[in-house]
Chain A
Amino acid sequence: MMRFILPFVVFVVLAVFLAIGLNLNPREVPSPLVGKPAPAFTLPQLHESTKQFSPSDMKGQVWLLNVWASWCVSCKEEHPVLMELSRRNIVPIYGLDYKDKQADAELWLKKGGDPYVLSVADTEGRIGIDYGVYGVPETYVIDKQGVIQYKQIGPVTPQSLTEKILPLVAELQAK
């Protein structure tokens, strides 16, 4: 009897490991920045380049930093979700326009609507590297103390909003 049970148990263990492995998304590299202060930067605003924005301006507020670009395909998918979120006025969304051309970015916001309180232009992608951006779009949830609490890799979906981001935002705002 043991002769059959043992290989069967080994097989099940192996199958479970493979099943977990196959269901992980290799594209989602967990960010070491979660739990760390959001890297500082000062960048000109997209619409008014004479004005600047820095994450330290946001101390005391829970906010989202959404990395986007007009050339980014999945941003198209994400855009209506962000529009809806900004309409609901729950949490301010700030945009980091990553490696984009000013004219393209402005056209994009004019066409699809602008869900952002404001966007800043990271033309050379340097701030992106500081934030560990590797696949636009990415969204950071930053708390009142300026600490990154969550990073969404890939587009924000209605599901990720209701399951993860909004509960987290509510929890952080209550703190």
Chain B
Amino acid sequence: MKYLLILLFTLLPAFSYAGEAKDMAADPVLEQRMIGLAEKLRCLVCQNESLASSHAELAEDLRREVREQMQKGMTDQEIIDYLVSRYGDFVLYDPPVKASTLVLWYGPFALLLIGAGVLVFQLRKRRSQIAEPQLSDADAHRAAELLEQSEKPEELMKKDPQA
């Protein structure tokens, strides 16, 4: 009996599969268009889900709204404009470029440029630091002497008849 129960419980998950958000697909073409648009829109309740995938009641209502507006013959852009006028840019997964989103769009590039600038500056600075040291006359003279001396053993060897 106990094992039977355990067996039953292990089988339980088989019945609990997640279903797609159910919609009335009267016109499959329109439904497809609606889903396509809804994928670009954010659900306001579960904020990291698209309107297409969300099961929230508001998302269902909004899908209905989008569907009905499509049936009325509104274009995708008109529907997006309507939703933005109600919920703000937040409903868009792709925020538009405008004054308040400039940092969002161009901030990373600005940071990249600053980084590149700092890198170039540092490299230039390093190069100037490891520039060829200037030899003083005394040092040059000493170096020449040393070089001369190092040549001498060879000459000695050449002159040595036993070598």
Q: Establish whether residues B58 and A125, one from each chain, have CB atoms under 8 Å apart when the complex forms.
A: yes
Total B residues in contact with A, Cβ cutoff 8 Å:
14
B interface secondary structure, majority = helix
Query: A80 to chain B: closest CB distance in Å?
Result: 26
A108 proximal to B (CB < 8 A):
no
A77 at the interface (CB under 8 A from B): no
Are A32 and B87 touching (Cβ within 8 A)?
yes
- Residue contact B88 to A29, C-beta cutoff 8 Å: yes
Interface size class of A (residues with CB under 8 A): 10 to 19
In the complex, are the beta carbons of B62 and A135 less than 8 A apart? Answer: no
Q: Is A22 an interface residue (CB 8 A)?
A: no
| A29 & B44 in contact (Cβ 8 Å cutoff) | yes
Tell me if A21 counts as interface (CB < 8 A to partner B): no
Question: Is B61 located at the chain interface by the 8 A CB criterion?
Answer: yes
Known contacts A30-B88, A129-B65, A135 near B44 by CB under 8 Å:
yes
Please tell me if the beta carbons of A29 and B90 are within 8 angstroms of each other in the complex: yes
Q: Evaluate contact between B65 and A32: CB separation under 8 angstroms.
A: no
What is the bound-complex CA distance between A131 and B61, given in angstroms? 13
Our pick among B58, B86, B88 for the contact of A131 (Cβ within 8 Å) is B86
Q: What 1/0 flags go to B122-133 for Cβ under 8 Å of A?
A: 000000000000
A124 to B65, CA, bound (A): 11
**B65 proximity list for chain A (CB < 8 A):** 126, 129
Please provide the chain B residues from 30 to 52 with a CB less than 8 Å away from any CB of chain A in the complex: 44-45, 47
* CA of A15 to CA of B79, assembled, Å: 39
Alpha-carbon distance between A63 and B90 when the two chains are bound, in angstroms: 27
Could you list which residues of chain B lie within 8 angstroms of chain A, going by C-beta atoms?
44-45, 47, 57-58, 61-62, 65, 84-88, 90
Q: Which residues of A contact B (CB under 8 A)?
A: 26-27, 29-33, 36, 99, 124-126, 128-132, 134-135
